[in-house]
Structure 1
Amino acid sequence: MGRIVSFLGSFVAKWGGAIIRFGLMFGMVMFFAKFAVPFFVDLMDAVAFILSRVNALIDYINSYTGNTDELITLFFNVLKSIGFIDAFRDAYTLFKPIFFTLIVVLGGKIVMRFLSLFARLLNYLFISRID
């Protein structure tokens, strides 16, 4: 009878400890995932902010009337007359979705790689702790 109780006690202690360790590791993964999601959201906000600032700059250059300095007005008039500003605006409009999509995909890849690495390390820790 003592051997059965000893066997069951060691079995419960082994798996109870493994379940507690797994719960702690799962909690740690969720804790770090809590930081990865806001990173991705902040990255999206940064992309939207940069997009709005570049659009505002292009609108300012297109609507520049030149009331302040004659040399700056001449510079913008030359750029407009050779078509540089229109070419930049058209190229920016064409490549804007591609450029910002790549930034968002890169940020998502960083987040996913971090979470995958962390989960894999915890998995290795969990496997090594089971006797």
Structure 2
Amino acid sequence: MPGIARTGAHPAETSTNCAAHRLTGDGLAPWTLQSLRSPMDPRTQLHARLGTLDAEDAAGAHAQATVELDQQAVGRLSRMDALQNQAMAQAQARMRNAERQRIHAALKRLDDDEYGYCTDCGEPVEAKRLMADPTIPRCLDCTRG
């Protein structure tokens, strides 16, 4: 099956902080909203997003490190705050890894000429869904169940 060409923006142009994973009021991640505005093929967009995820991982590596429990260096409340920050950084890393897996699956579908087709029923995935998120594997009917 041939792939479907679509448009998208360079995800690296969007915010590389944790807000990139938060949803907007209409349920889309901010980098997907940007993808609706300028043309780029899905493979280029997916690879650019992988680069952004790698940069976010590098930036957040320190926050995921083991928290020092030295009573002299840090007070009890500061240690609790550091532990909470560490837990949040680890959760964000897990979300980036899940997104990375979705991207690799979409790239495999592109390689197999199955991109743009529902993985369940084989029907074309709606272009608007692919424009909003190029990693979407299923059509709206199959997603709804």
User: So what's the TM-score if we normalise by structure 2?
Assistant: 0.32
Q: Which has the larger radius of gyration?
A: 1
User: So what's the TM-score if we normalise by structure 1?
Assistant: 0.34
Q: Which has the higher contact order (CA 8 A, sep 6+)?
A: 1
